[in-house]
């Protein structure tokens, strides 16, 4: 059974339909890249999978780990091992980064029937993970993303991912705004998480991140549907030719 199976997914926001019958299957152990022009629905897909209520799912089904994902609240999705690295991580003044993450981790552990981590065990875990993304330890004590630079925010997302150890992680344009060094750090973080039990979906505009996170599959999203799928070489073709050549070909042939 696939870890994630999306069938004919339609979703709209404020009246406008954005996802128009999207299909995707992701097995454990795989890394998928989703590419596509602006406005094609990449971020909508990420938000819908995370359970954002501002998007309305009008049709279709999403099976995650055998469960009907769309019926679960955002927090239950997280506790079941789903993780979204936000394109725009939210600043939360007054809520300590480590304090919040400990509460999140323990909510997940509790859901799984594991014992909650005490302050010392948590600190040890966090100290190990924070090194992987080369984040300054002082950022742990600061409020969540408050006053972080763009790069720090993105690395903080990956850091949270490493601590929460999701089964399925979706990275929504985590590479945007990163310089090459930060890009490598993010990629290292993602690669550290890769295993045969987990899967990663990397949403990106550019092929560049895929030099460091080698995907098993690349999909092209256009106007709310996957219009082409292929191996990692597809990303290179897209880099070279752009997206416009795809639009000229008839849909039926391209979808799967």
Partner 1 sequence: MTLPTTDSFVSNFELAGKLGSEPLWLRKHREQAFSQFSQTGFPTTNDEEWRTTSVEPIATTSFQPASENNGYKIEKQELESLSLGTPDEKRLVFINGFFAPKLSSLENLPSGLILKNLAEALRSEPDLVEKYLFRQTDEKAPFTALNAAFVKDGAFVFIPKGQTVISPIHLLFISTVDGTVTVSHPRNLIIAEEGSQATIVESYWGRGKYFTNAVTEIVVGDNASLDHIKIQTESEEAFHIATIQSQQGRASRFSSHSTSFGGRLARNDINSVLAAEGSECALNGLYMAGLHQQIDNHTTVDHAQPNSISRELYKGILSGEATGVFNGKIIVRQDAQKTDASQTNKNLLLSKEALINTKPQLEIFANDVKCRHGATIGQLDENAIFYLRSRGLGEKEARSFLTYAFASEMFNSLKITPLKRRLERLVQTRLEGPMS
Span 153-182, contacts to partner 1 by CB under 8 A: 160, 164
Q: Minimal CA–CA distance to 83: which of 190, 230, 186?
A: 190
DSSP 49-113: HHT-TTSEEEEEEEEETTEEGGGS-HHHHHHTTEEEE-SSPPPEEEEEHHHHHHHHHHHHHHHTT
Which residue from 12, 20, 25, 111 is in contact with partner 1, where contact means CB under 8 A? 111
Q: Minimal CA–CA distance to 24: which of 61, 52, 55, 58?
A: 61
Residues binding partner 1: what is the number (CB under 8 A)? 31
Q: Does 104 bind partner 1 (CB under 8 A)?
A: yes
Q: Using CB under 8 A, which of the segments 95-103, 122-130, 209-217, 224-232 binds partner 1?
A: 95-103
Which residue from 55, 64, 86, 122 is in contact with partner 1, where contact means CB under 8 A? 86
Q: Does 210 bind partner 1 (CB under 8 A)?
A: no
Which residue from 39, 74, 230, 231 is in contact with partner 1, where contact means CB under 8 A? 74
DSSP 224-255: TEEEEEE-THHHHHHHHH-SHHHHTS-HHHH-
Q: Where on the chain is the footprint of partner 1 (CB under 8 A)?
A: 50-53, 73-75, 77-79, 83-84, 86, 89-90, 92-95, 100-101, 103-105, 107-108, 111, 143-144, 160, 164
């Amino acid at each position: 059974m696939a870890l994630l199976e999306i069938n004919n997914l339609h979703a709209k926001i404020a009246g406008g339909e954005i996802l128009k019958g999207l299909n995707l299957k992701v097995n454990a152990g795989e890394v998928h890249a989703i590419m596509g022009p602006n406005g094609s629905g990449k971020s909508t897909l990420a938000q819908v999978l995370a359970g954002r209520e501002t998007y309305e799912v009008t049709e279709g089904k999403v099976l995650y780990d055998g469960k009907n994902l769309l019926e679960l609240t955002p927090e239950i999705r997280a506790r079941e091992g789903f993780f979204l690295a936000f394109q725009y991580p939210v600043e939360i003044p007054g809520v300590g980064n480590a304090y919040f993450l400990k509460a999140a981790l323990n909510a997940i552990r509790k859901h799984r029937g594991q014992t909650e981590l005490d302050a010392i065990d948590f600190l040890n875990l966090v100290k190990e993970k924070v090194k992987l993304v080369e984040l300054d330890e002082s950022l742990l004590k600061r409020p969540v993303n408050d006053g972080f630079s763009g790069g720090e925010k993105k690395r903080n997302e990956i850091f949270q991912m490493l601590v929460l150890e999701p089964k399925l992680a979706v990275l929504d344009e985590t590479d945007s705004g990163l310089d090459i060094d930060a890009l490598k750090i993010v990629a290292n973080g993602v690669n550290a998480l890769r295993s045969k039990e987990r899967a990663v979906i990397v949403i990106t505009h550019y092929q560049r991140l895929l030099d460091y996170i080698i995907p098993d599959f690349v999909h092209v999203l256009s106007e709310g549907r996957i219009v082409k799928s292929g191996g990692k070489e597809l990303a290179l073709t897209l880099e070279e030719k752009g997206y416009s050549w795809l639009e000229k070909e008839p849909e039926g042939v391209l979808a799967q």
